[in-house]
Structure 1
């Protein structure tokens, strides 16, 4: 299975490096290392006009567009095409890889990056605010 992908220029270019905004289990270096065999450079970032939800019965979150909300996370920098495919497989069909604008926490500069957005905006199992501290405690 693979993740759905919004039509984005440059998808499938194996030699191109990508930036990926992460906000859930991929915030843990151990998870990223297990998937990619390395921990890429990263920077703290914020995604505006999205909300991070808990999903009933799961330990990982979902994000969906919600005006006036924001999601904090980090951007993995310099992700190869092969690594992007690995992340697609990890996120599976429940998420759609989408191009978004994120803002670096330290200087408010923006950057175009991919984010994995929950594919079902009407999912009744989405509720409340997900907190990374919940997963590591």
Structure 2
């Protein structure tokens, strides 16, 4: 059975009022990254997103999810996210993702609930492969990712800020080739 259709929302779209639940499955599973982006750590619970798969993305250290029958993604749901915070998350996820409303299952209680999540925008992307590993990411990339995220958040307040993708590419280029800051695509 295919997952129920969910409307895709461009990442920079306006949101309606109220608190939001957001299912996270990658870098946003760490409190440090969430705190850097929205300046607090909302309550969260372990959760499962059925009928999706978490992929590695060639040239990126963060994952992508797409609908895949009979697969599931372990993550967590962040609750009580405000409209303003959701807007910041939309900016952070940038053009690579679209926000979708999905049904998740709380891991501790098996109750289901609706949550927003960020799905990879290009369902036919040939750069998606394998399965992304959160523990490996924490061990190998979290420190650099936090530094990049801090740079993005600092730049977001500037009149001519870079997108998160541009910030990421510049940051990774500088790590791999110190002294050369460009926005070329890097393969890692």
Does the alignment reach a TM-score above 0.5? yes
Give 2:76's aligned residue.
74
Give 1:12's aligned residue.
15
Q: How does 1:1-137 map to 2 (within 5 A)?
A: 5=9, 12-13=15-16, 15-137=17-139
SS in 1 for 2:129: strand
Q: What CA deviation, in whole Å up to 9, does each residue of 1:12-50 have, x standing for no partner?
A: 22x410000000000111000001110000000000000
Structure 1: state its 5+ residue gaps.
none
Instruction: Give the CA deviation at 1:136.
Output: 1.0
Length-normalised TM-score, structure 1: 0.91
Higher relative contact order (CA 8 A, sep 6+): 1
Q: Distance in 2 between matches of 1:12 and 1:38?
A: 20
Structure 2: state its 5+ residue gaps.
1-7, 140-188
CA RMSD in angstroms comes to 1.1
Q: Distance in 1 between matches of 2:92 and 2:117?
A: 13
- Give the structure with the larger strand fraction: 1
Q: Distance in 2 between matches of 1:133 and 1:17?
A: 30
Q: Distance in 1 between matches of 2:129 and 2:15?
A: 34
Structure showing greater radius of gyration is 2
SS in 1 for 2:130: strand
- Give the structure with the larger helix fraction: 2
Length-normalised TM-score, structure 2: 0.67
- The total of aligned residue pairs comes to 129
Q: Distance in 2 between matches of 1:21 and 1:50?
A: 12
